Amino acid sequence: MIGVAVMGCGVVGSGVVEMLIENRELLTGTTGDELRVLYMLDLRDLDVPEGVVLTKNFEDILNDERVQIVVETMGGTRFAYPYTKQCLEAGRHVVTSNKELVADHGDELLSIAKAHGVSYLYEASTGGGIPIIRPIQQDLRANKLSEINGIVNGSTNYLLTEMREKGVSFPAALGEAKRLGYVEANPAADVEGWDARRKLAILANAAFGAKLGDNQIIPTTGISAVTEGDMNAAAAFGGAVKLIAHAHLNESENTWTGWVHPCFVPSAHPLYNVNDVFNAIMVHGNFVDNVMFFGRGAGSKPTASAVVGDIVEVAQSLDAPRKRLEYASPVAFDAAPSAPRRLLVRFTGDENAVKAALPGCIIKECGDEKAVMTAEAPADVLNSAVQALSSAVQLGAPLFVL
């Protein structure tokens, strides 16, 4: 018997318990031993399955030597960080879906896990039910990975889909998303791009060996300022607006560039048809080229599937954790990239002034406004040109062009 404790029994944690019980026979056949839930830790009074102890005391888990795998689905860092650290130091394997904890403290927790001969796994922290960390570190490890582009937040993707397909405003789409439970009562982490930024930090770490820690990723811009005009501008050029998380390895400099930003995605791009609450992540390798992972990015059962996948990996190698892919030296973040970029910007005013400031651009009508697609230019040059142009014409917020 392999004892499991689940800390935090909300949407994800309860899904993990349900899956471990419902698929018990399958999991026993896969791991060669029974995965038995011994504890559920939560401050609320919950109904728990027969044979499971509901506790509000973390020490109950820490002091029971039968518990070999601890699942942390608490969210945040206030309790999750010290509890996870103590579990690892006590020689317990830890599996988590907590993107904030991994992004903020992952390097430290992985180091502690290595020092104590245990695993710290977090497949569910980036794409919900989409397998991505393990494929990057195992199936694609023979490739030099150089780029990631992803729709990694289902809530914002739903909002943008509603705005595009139904023509509703951002506030109206947000109200409907709250009613359906697709966003939290305070949706800032989703709509301001913070959730996507955390996931991007984890993906860049897996793909490039970047240091964990998401606060350095700039620009991070959410979708709260996206308007009907932006939707019209994207449609005029045959595309759609998506919130994209992007990372690129500058191999010659041992640095990486990353950003989270609303983007114009052309209809020919594979991410164009990723709608509603679905997520998709594209990874580029020097031999495999582009590979895309697609599926539900959130929800109780999809996320539980990723968590239990990690539990199975731990259970199959309890006494000799599988070696984690490590890089020779950490890849530093480049906060001032000059890589070429294109922008799509709405404007009203003198079209000739726009053409003069942005040579090689394309201008199209979009409702009562016009939209300009810039030619490709270094990001810093392009940003300076657009900023200077803002004194001559009225500009909307720029969309990056994917």
pLDDT tens column, 15-65: 999 999 999 999 999 999 999 999 999 999 999 999 999 999 999 999 999
Average pLDDT of 315-328?
A: 78
Tens of pLDDT, residue by residue over 59-95, are 999 999 999 999 999 999 999 999 999 999 999 999 9
Q: Is the pLDDT of residue 311 over 70?
A: yes
pLDDT confidence tier of residue 337, bands split at 50, 70 and 90: low
Tens of pLDDT, residue by residue over 121-138, are 999 999 888 999 999 999
Average pLDDT of 279-293?
A: 97
Q: Is the pLDDT of residue 1 over 80?
A: yes
Q: Is the pLDDT of residue 330 over 80?
A: no
Q: Is the pLDDT of residue 335 over 90?
A: no
Report yes or no: 234 and 364 within 8 Å, Cβ to Cβ.
no
pLDDT confidence tier of residue 283, bands split at 50, 70 and 90: very high
Q: Which residue from 390, 305, 310 is spatially nearest to 349, judged by alpha carbons? A: 390
Report yes or no: 8 and 74 within 8 Å, Cβ to Cβ.
yes
Report yes or no: 243 and 362 within 8 Å, Cβ to Cβ.
no
Round to whole Å and give the CA distance between 214 and 199: 8
pLDDT confidence tier of residue 331, bands split at 50, 70 and 90: confident
User: Catalytic site residues?
Assistant: 199
Question: Residue 340 has what pLDDT?
Answer: 85
Peptide bond into 262 cis (omega under 30): no
CA torsion angle 39 42 48 50 (round to 10): 20
Find the helix or strand (DSSP H, E) in which 365 lies: strand 362-366
Q: Give the domains, in start order, of the chain with CATH numbers.
A: 2-129+301-315 (3.40.50.720), 141-296 (3.30.360.10), 340-401 (3.30.70.120)
Average pLDDT of 111-121?
A: 95
User: What contacts 271, CB < 8 A, 6 or more positions away?
Assistant: 149, 150, 151, 242, 244, 265, 280, 282, 292, 402
pLDDT confidence tier of residue 324, bands split at 50, 70 and 90: confident
Question: Residue 7 has what pLDDT?
Answer: 98
- Tokens representing residue 346 in the block: 């709405």
pLDDT confidence tier of residue 339, bands split at 50, 70 and 90: confident
Average pLDDT of 261-274?
A: 97
Average pLDDT for the chain: 93
Tens of pLDDT, residue by residue over 179-231, are 887 887 789 999 999 999 999 999 999 999 898 877 789 899 999 999 999 99
